[in-house]
Amino acid sequence: MIRIDVPATSANLGSGFDALGIALNKYNHVWMEEWDSVEISSKDNTKIPTDTSNLIFWAANYLYESCGHKLPGLKILQENNIPMARGLGSSSACIVAGILGANRMLGNPLSQEDLINLAAQIEGHPDNTSPAIAGGLVTSAIEGKRVYSVSVPVSDKIRFAVLVPPFELKTEKARSVLPENYSRADAVYNLSRSALMTASLFSGNLGNLRVAVQDRLHQPYRSGLIDHYDQVFRMTYELGSLGTYVSGAGPTIIAFVDAGHADDFIRQAAAHLEEKGITGWQTEILRADSEGARIVIE
């Protein structure tokens, strides 16, 4: 049996809508082996599909069929540390676990580039799947059916204060509130800031991040779907956030913080949320994961 460790991911980073994503050091663990039937279970209390509709199984079967093979069955054991429908790449983690495990069981016929393309085909966009596979900060673009992406390391000066609310927000709902068209001014506004974001995270230029997270394409439209959005954003900046944004489609909110002050920041953030009666939010400090998904032989 093999174990696949897949990192959580945070997409968009404010200005990089559907283009930027970063891997974080929080992981789902999946144990997998070929089996003569479908046997799927969870090591934790997370409710998961235990039939062929399970996304890990579905993705593994998709890779088998893409390579001209028939998957007889799978035994899958999941440990789900990435919260579902919170904007931290839980579905991407399942897809990546499925295709990486299946690729290994077939003797690795597909390269990392092939896997990145396949994962994006399944997910529909590469901003979570690409960093989950490659690690680091990833910029992605799709041309035809091919993903063109570059992964760069993130400066160790930066930490991620992750604020996870006690409610889900489905990507479909978050996308449904977005307009069909944008002005040229709004497009240029985001393009300049997303370019600044990539250079700033790589170089560790912390002073740029407050401008780099600014966005006119998705966050203003999604803010009404996230309870306490304004209060939480305001609080993070009062506590010294270098830049705050909605992770992926939401509802998780992430603040860039200086590594030297990260622990103080998250303690104060948790205390402030409680004081304001904003209950049930989970808070933690994460750092960028530079490796991406990996396979461990048990």
What is 158-286's CATH number?
3.30.70.890
Q: What are the residue boundaries of the structural domains of the chain, listed by start?
A: 2-153+289-297, 158-286
Query: Which band of pLDDT confidence, cut at 50, 70 and 90, is reported for residue 213?
Result: very high
Average pLDDT over residues 268-290: 96
Residue 121 phi, psi dihedral angles, 5° rounding: -60, -40
For the domain made up of 2-153+289-297, give the CATH fold: Ribosomal Protein S5; domain 2 (3.30.230)
pLDDT (tens digit, 9 = 90+) per residue, 83-110? 999 999 999 999 999 999 999 999 999 9
| Residue 224 confidence (pLDDT) above 80 | yes
pLDDT band at 158 (very low <50, low <70, confident <90, very high): very high
21 confidence band (pLDDT: 50, 70, 90): very high
Q: Dihedral angle at the C-alpha atoms of 158, 159, 161, 164, nearest 10 degrees?
A: 120
Indicate the pairing of strand 38-42 with strand 74-79. parallel
Question: What would the two tokens of residue 163 be?
Answer: 């604020």
Paired strand residues for 1: none
pTM over 0.85: yes
pLDDT at 225 over 90: yes
What confidence tier does 19 reach under pLDDT thresholds 50, 70, 90? very high
Helices (H) and strands (E) in the chain, counts: 10, 11
Contact 38, 74 (CB under 8 A): yes
Flag whether pLDDT at 145 surpasses 90. Answer: no
What pLDDT sits at residue 284?
A: 98
